[in-house]
Amino acid sequence: MQIRRFYSPQIPVIDDTLLLPESEARHALKVLRLRPGERLLLLDGKGTIAEAELLDSDRTGRTAPCRILSRTLHPAPSPQFRLYVAPPHGKGFDLLLKAATELGVTQISPILCRHAVSKPESVSENWQNVLIAACKQAINPFLPQLDQPAEFKKALENASETSFFGAVPDSHANPLLPKLHTASNLALWIGPEGGFAPDEEKGLLLAGCHPITLGHCVLRVETAVPALLGLIHGLLKAPENL
Amino acid sequence: MQIRRFYSPQIPVIDDTLLLPESEARHALKVLRLRPGERLLLLDGKGTIAEAELLDSDRTGRTAPCRILSRTLHPAPSPQFRLYVAPPHGKGFDLLLKAATELGVTQISPILCRHAVSKPESVSENWQNVLIAACKQAINPFLPQLDQPAEFKKALENASETSFFGAVPDSHANPLLPKLHTASNLALWIGPEGGFAPDEEKGLLLAGCHPITLGHCVLRVETAVPALLGLIHGLLKAPENL
């Protein structure tokens, strides 16, 4: 059976003990009914993954103390990948957050675009929980940073990535691959289902974004995210960029 | 407002009339409450997209006669793209079918793998409906062909694609890009969440598949499909392949 995974923002050194966060402890004890002595995998979302052993609970039966058996610090992903995306409505954003986490995106910045149907004012706790669950599922050592939603124009003004792609119609033959490969941080901008407004598209191109598209069909945002991330990885893998 | 899209396996010539299929007629008249004179977009799933005008219904109010105003035959996608995939359980396969349709996959072949949780014996009508809905949503002129599930070994024996990729660990630096570009039909093989069994993986490599992976995390099949399709498009777009 697969070892169960838990999120713990702090992971102590080997042989030290910690208490799982309350919701994780409840899941371990009440839902999964794990017993003392069982092995767990702990992720701190900051690069460390540890193996731990569940110890005896106290008399309340509500805490889950663990002893660290081993721990590994993973190197930060390179290049860092930031996703600027107009949140789709409903469950679409959850699917998108999951896919981005599985594919190693390091930062997710919701942008408020003119043609967007959904314009959330702040990050919901549920989104954070989706990201944590996705990290555990994907065994991703790095929890993506989720920013507060920002107006498109403000987000573009503040963007500092050295190379970035935009899901806008492609008038050029190819993005500038050699330049990309040396970039230590990349960004991908994806608009709402209705697409970027003309002035948003113009702003992206003026700021130097590489336009990318995939196929001839209308893509839902939750498909565009994994497909375009894959496309960029493919462009970066091209032999002259290795 | 966006023009409504309907699936009609037969589309006659301009000025001829047709009756929408029963379920599409019900949707047009009872759900959307479209009125005579309104414009519709019709897709036959075989490359033709037509604009049509809704005519007066007969006395039953259950048929939706339309007159064709214009029609366009789209060229078949090139290269043709076939997806061999172990169906995930639950809603995952629906998500995967949608993403594959948006990304222009022409044929989807469910494969039954050793480590699969779900081993459907036949294609369900629901899957076909998901594909039709996805074609309408994505305005994809070509309805992907959905095959009956086949045993992995039999599917591999019968595969005739000139170039193919497998989601298996990558021991080589790069797939053979120049060879790919000239291929008129490509295939991508994706195993179940547990991965291909060792002999399945060996079979793929012996048959000459190009191994591809993306990132270091565990991908759900419904993420792997759009991400790896995007990756292949990126590899094909690399400058020396244009």
Q: pLDDT-derived band of residue B180, with 50, 70 and 90 as boundaries?
A: low
A2-38 pLDDT, tens per residue? Answer: 799 999 999 999 999 999 999 999 999 999 999 999 9
- Asked if residue A173 has pLDDT above 50, the reply is no
Instruction: Give backbone dihedrals phi and psi of A59, rounded to 5 degrees, phi first.
Output: -65, -25
3-state secondary structure of B189: strand
The DSSP bridge pattern shows strands B80-85 and B107-112 to be parallel
- Asked if residue B205 has pLDDT above 50, the reply is yes
More confident site: A61 or B230: B230
B116: Cβ contacts below 8 Å, ≥ 6 apart: B86, B87, B191, B192, B194
Give the distance from residue A240's alpha carbon to the nearest chain B alpha carbon, in angstroms.
9
Sign (positive/negative) of CA torsion B96, A238, A98, A91? negative
Strand partners, A142: A46
3-state secondary structure of B182: coil
B78-105 pLDDT, tens per residue? Answer: 889 999 999 998 889 999 999 999 999 9
Mean pLDDT of B185-192: 93
Task: Check residue B181 and give its pLDDT.
Answer: 58
Task: Give residue A226's identity as a one-letter amino acid code.
Answer: P
d(CA B143, CA B105): 9
> Do the beta carbons of residue A212 and residue A232 sit within 8 Å?
yes
Query: Integer distance in angstroms from the first to the last C-alpha of chain B?
Result: 38
Task: Check residue B185 and give its pLDDT.
Answer: 87
Q: In B, residues 136-165, which contact A (CB 8 Å cutoff)?
A: 137-140
Task: Check residue A241 and give its pLDDT.
Answer: 43
Query: Which one of B96, B172, B186, B217 would you mutate to disrupt binding with A, by most A Cβ within 10 Å of its Cβ?
Result: B217
Mean pLDDT of A108-115: 95
d(CA B241, CA A41): 44
- Asked if residue A178 has pLDDT above 80, the reply is no
Q: Which domains does chain A have, with CATH numbers?
A: 4-73 (2.40.240.20), 80-241 (3.40.1280.10)
Place of tokens 């959307």: B32
Its ipTM equals 0.90
Task: Give residue A185's identity as a one-letter amino acid code.
Answer: N
Of these ranges, A57-66, A182-191, A206-215, B222-231, the one predicted with the greatest mean pLDDT is B222-231
Q: Which of B228, B234, B236 sits opposite A232 (nearest CB)?
A: B234
- Asked if residue B167 has pLDDT above 60, the reply is yes
Task: Check residue A180 and give its pLDDT.
Answer: 62
d(CA A42, CA A51): 6
B237 reaches A (C-beta below 8 A):
yes
